[in-house]
């Protein structure tokens, strides 16, 4: 009996640990033979042909360029090589190198000279929390981690300390332990531009008294120095500097104080009245202009009361700290680079209110859903000139996130996510901001920033024609036997992997596909092709998830990634996979092909 046990044990052991050396897929072999004219070795000239004809690289790539890539590969696998040429095996190994043959463009390549409102911006929510929203620690560590990932908008909630003489960062009305504001500011200064040179925006939820606001102003000025962006009087009220102009700058964004708004709107009303009086006193104009001016004055009067009501409620519905007789210090007001507001009930009115330069409207995810349903085109039109920040609902106490696509398709620039969490919604956030070299700024599609001749704007609810067809081939995967223990998926046999492909974007483009299950193989080979017809490819994300099939339990997670379709490089590409938290595996990759028609 004991011998029989050892016999079966040896069978299971051998099945589990035996790794078969993979062979190149047929498409890879055919590409090699085509480019080499069926010769056994690929020269730099042959390789250049492959890069241009199969991978869609620009024709100005030179033989020296292709030779340099080949030498990098050969140094890794055959360091003593004497002749710069690829065998089929070398070529196959090259295709699996995601640093040289990755699926998306790895450099900043968007136009970075447009106003800041023209970009989606990588945005964090409660950036100081290490865990859940109720009783986790507050720390500078998650802020540093977010900045290293490319996050460009950091949120800090400011509260007085117990002695009322200092400033703490914490999630108010919870049991979260505080961290000092000075520590957060210093950490932001030190790590702001490690990953990206483009501006960092700090959104402040301010629960401070004026004397503490003065301390914030001094602290920000002393710590950030020349990094700190100071709005210039007389700048274009509707336009904002570009990411290029704001490189290596820190921008503060919060609600401006009530007395500032009163003065601002009264000034606008005065100018409008003076203009109208000039018209009525005989200045060259016509009745249509007079009528428009009168309408503007009426609108400004409405704005005065509407704006003050909109602007002084924070995300939890609390009224701001100002008390009768207290005035916010001027030095604090002058540092507010992007003025913030929040709409709770009168969303449609809020989308038509103009509070001057750099207005940022904050919407909860529920308010966004209602606004998108009832006033979708108004929201798109608003985001052409103003910022919209969308934040998770308060019931997400475990730091989960909402799906960001609805916000993006309506032009919202700042979709705030709990970066310390994980899940499918955060995978989409990671995917979007892999765009444009991972710099944290993604240029919005032109159709979100333009109007038709009839002054109509993009409407996500309207189904358009198919603009682009994407064909995706899933060839094979490898690396699990190096990144996972051999008993992780199954105690007695190799894993049974399959791949799911999700296209997410506007409703018309949403679809999912699935490969067959490959049984008992650490290196699964699928060789399956899928077709996706896209009406708005500019907003589409390809989410890829590999799982291990389990008959008796829930299928095991085996890796994921999310790729922006607009950034995909055509050809045969190495696609690295990540764990549930978005950390890239050392070895797990898929070999895939992307073809656009």
Which of 46, 110, 118, 171 does the annotation list as catalytic?
171
pLDDT at 305 over 60: no
Higher pLDDT, 298 or 589: 589
Q: Which residues pair with 364 in a beta bridge?
A: 391
Q: 74 with 190, same domain?
A: no
Do 521 and 428 reside in the same domain of the chain?
no
What is the average pLDDT score of the chain? 87
Tell me, what's the pLDDT at 350? 83
Q: Can you tell me which residue has the tokens 């189904």?
A: 463
Half-sphere exposure of 149 (CA within 13 A, CB side): 26
Task: Kindly state whether residue 451 falls inside one of the protein's structural domains.
Answer: no
Tokens 């602007």, residue located: 311
The residue ranking higher by pLDDT, 441 or 232, is: 441
Same domain? For 438 and 478 the reply is: no
Who has greater pLDDT, 67 or 352? Answer: 67
Shared-domain flag, residues 54 and 160: no
- CATH number for the domain harbouring residue 34: 1.10.238
- Beta pairing class for 200-206 and 250-254: parallel
Residue 89, CA distances (Å) to 77, 79, 477 in order? 10, 15, 16
Position 296 pLDDT exceeds 80: no
* DSSP at 41: S
Instruction: Answer yes or no: is 248 within a domain.
Output: yes
- Asked about 191 being catalytic, the answer comes back as no
Q: Is the pLDDT of residue 319 over 70?
A: no
Mean pLDDT to the nearest integer, 120-124: 98
Number of H helices, E strands in the chain: 17, 19
Instruction: From residue 40, give the alpha-carbon distance in Å to each of 85, 251, 400, 485, 559.
Output: 10, 58, 53, 37, 35
Residue 354: the pLDDT is 55
The 10 Å Cβ neighbour count of residue 45 is 12
Q: Do residues 86 and 121 both lie within one domain?
A: no
CB 172 within 8 A of CB 159: yes
Is residue 164 domain-resident?
A: yes
Average pLDDT rounded to a whole number, residues 343-353: 75
* 574 and 500 within one domain: yes
Cα–Cα distance, 397 to 402 (Å, whole number)? 13
Residue 258: name the closest of 219, 305, 214 by CA.
305
* pLDDT of res. 345: 66
Q: 125, 249, 375, 430: which one is catalytic?
A: 125
Regarding whether 294 and 234 lie in a shared domain, the answer is: no
pLDDT single digits (tens) 375-388: 999 999 999 999 99
Q: Contact at 8 Å (CB) between 387 and 415? A: no
Write down which residue in 285, 311, 337 finishes a domain. 311
Counting residues of the chain whose pLDDT is more than 70, the rounded percentage is: 83
Residues 217-270 have pLDDT tens digits of 999 999 999 999 998 765 555 678 999 999 999 999 998 776 455 544 444 444
How confident is the model at residue 234, as a pLDDT?
56
**Local structure of residue 222 (DSSP, 8 states):** H
Could you tell me if residue 463 is inside a domain?
Answer: no
pLDDT at 309 exceeding the cut of 70: no
The pair of three-digit structure tokens given for residue 561, joined into one six-digit string: 């990634």
With a cut of 50, say whether residue 276 has pLDDT above it. Answer: no
Tell whether 455 is covered by a domain.
no
Instruction: Say yes or no: 265 and 285 in one domain.
Output: yes
Residues 139 and 80 in one domain: no
Residue 410 annotated to the active site: no
Residues 426 and 487 in one domain: no
Pair 408, 428: CB distance under 8 Å: no
Query: Mean pLDDT throughout 147-159?
Result: 97
- The CATH number of residue 496's host domain is 2.60.40.150
Q: With a cut of 80, say whether residue 200 has pLDDT above it.
A: yes
Both 196 and 167 in one domain: the answer is: yes
For the ranges 80-84, 285-289, 327-331, 354-358, the one whose mean pLDDT is highest:
80-84
Q: Is the pLDDT of residue 95 over 80?
A: yes
Which pLDDT belongs to residue 236? 55
Q: What is the pLDDT of residue 300?
A: 42
pLDDT for residue 306 is more than 50: no
pLDDT average, residue stretch 517-546: 97
The predicted model gives 366-374 an average pLDDT of 95
Full residue range of the structural domain in which residue 305 is found:
258-311
Q: How many domains does the chain have?
A: 4
| 485 found inside a domain | yes
pLDDT-derived band at 359, boundaries 50, 70, 90 = confident
- Location of structure tokens 């039109």: 381
Least confident residue range of 14-18, 118-122, 279-283: 279-283
Which helix or strand (DSSP H or E) is residue 382 part of? helix 365-383
- Which ranges in 192-319 belong to alpha helices (H)? 210-224, 258-280, 287-311
**Domain co-membership, 89 together with 17:** yes
């Amino acid at each position: 009996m004991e011998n029989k046990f050892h016999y079966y044990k040896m069978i299971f052991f051998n099945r589990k640990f035996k790794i078969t050396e993979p062979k190149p897929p047929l498409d890879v072999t055919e590409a090699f033979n085509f480019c080499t004219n069926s010769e056994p070795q690929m020269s730099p000239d042959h390789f250049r042909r492959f890069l241009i004809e199969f991978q869609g690289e620009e024709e100005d790539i030179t033989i020296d360029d292709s030779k340099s890539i080949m030498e990098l590969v050969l140094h890794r696998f055959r360091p003593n090589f004497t002749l710069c040429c690829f065998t089929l095996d070398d070529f196959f190994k090259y295709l699996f190198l995601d640093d040289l043959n990755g699926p998306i463009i790895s450099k900043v390549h968007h136009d970075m000279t447009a106003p800041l409102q023209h970009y989606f911006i990588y945005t964090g929510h409660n950036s100081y929390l290490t865990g859940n929203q109720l009783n986790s620690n507050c720390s500078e560590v998650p802020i540093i981690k977010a900045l290293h990932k490319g996050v460009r908008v950091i949120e800090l909630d400011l509260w007085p300390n117990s002695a009322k003489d200092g400033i703490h960062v914490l999630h108010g009305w919870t049991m979260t332990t505080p961290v000092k504001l000075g520590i957060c500011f210093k950490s932001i200064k030190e790590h702001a531009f490690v990953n990206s040179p483009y501006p960092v925006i700090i959104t402040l939820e301010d629960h401070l008294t004026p004397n503490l606001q003065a301390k914030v102003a001094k602290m920000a000025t002393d710590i950030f120095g020349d990094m700190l962006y100071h709005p210039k009087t007389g700048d274009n009220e509707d336009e904002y500097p570009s990411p290029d102009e704001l490189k290596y700058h820190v921008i503060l964004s919060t609600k401006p104080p009530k007395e500032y708004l009163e003065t601002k709107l009264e000034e606008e009303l005065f100018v409008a009245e003076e203009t109208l009086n000039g018209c009525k006193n005989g200045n060259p104009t016509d009745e249509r202009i007079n009528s428009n001016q009168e309408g503007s004055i009426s609108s400004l009067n409405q704005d005065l009361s509407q704006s003050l009501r909109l602007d002084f409620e924070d995300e939890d519905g609390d009224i701001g700290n100002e008390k009768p007789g207290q005035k916010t210090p001027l030095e604090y007001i002058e540092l507010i680079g992007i003025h913030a507001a929040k709409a709770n009930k009168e969303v449609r009115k809020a989308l038509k209110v103009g509070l001057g330069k750099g207005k940022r409207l904050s919407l909860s995810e529920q308010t966004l859903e209602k606004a998108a349903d009832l006033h979708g085109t108004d929201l798109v039109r608003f985001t052409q000139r103003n910022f919209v920040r969308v934040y998770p609902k308060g019931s997400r106490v475990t730091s989960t996130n909402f799906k960001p696509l609805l916000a993006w398709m309506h032009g919202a620039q700042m979709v705030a996510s709990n970066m310390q969490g994980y899940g499918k919604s955060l995978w989409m956030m990671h995917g979007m901001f892999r765009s444009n070299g991972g710099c944290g700024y993604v240029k919005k599609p032109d159709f979100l920033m333009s109007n038709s001749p009839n002054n109509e704007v993009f409407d996500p609810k309207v189904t358009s024609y198919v603009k682009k067809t994407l064909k995706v081939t899933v060839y094979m995967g490898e690396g699990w036997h190096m990144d996972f223990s051999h008993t992780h998926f199954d105690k007695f046999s190799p894993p049974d992997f399959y791949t799911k492909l999700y296209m997410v974007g506007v409703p018309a483009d949403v679809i999912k596909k699935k490969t067959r299950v490959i049984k008992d193989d650490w290196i699964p080979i699928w060789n399956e092709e899928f077709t996706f017809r896209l009406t708005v490819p500019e907003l589409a994300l390809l989410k890829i998830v590999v799982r291990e099939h389990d008959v008796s339990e829930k299928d095991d997670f085996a890796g994921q990634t999310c790729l922006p379709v607009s950034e995909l490089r055509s050809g045969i590409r190495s696609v690295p996979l990540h764990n549930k938290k978005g950390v890239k595996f050392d070895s797990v990759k898929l070999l895939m092909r992307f073809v656009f028609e």
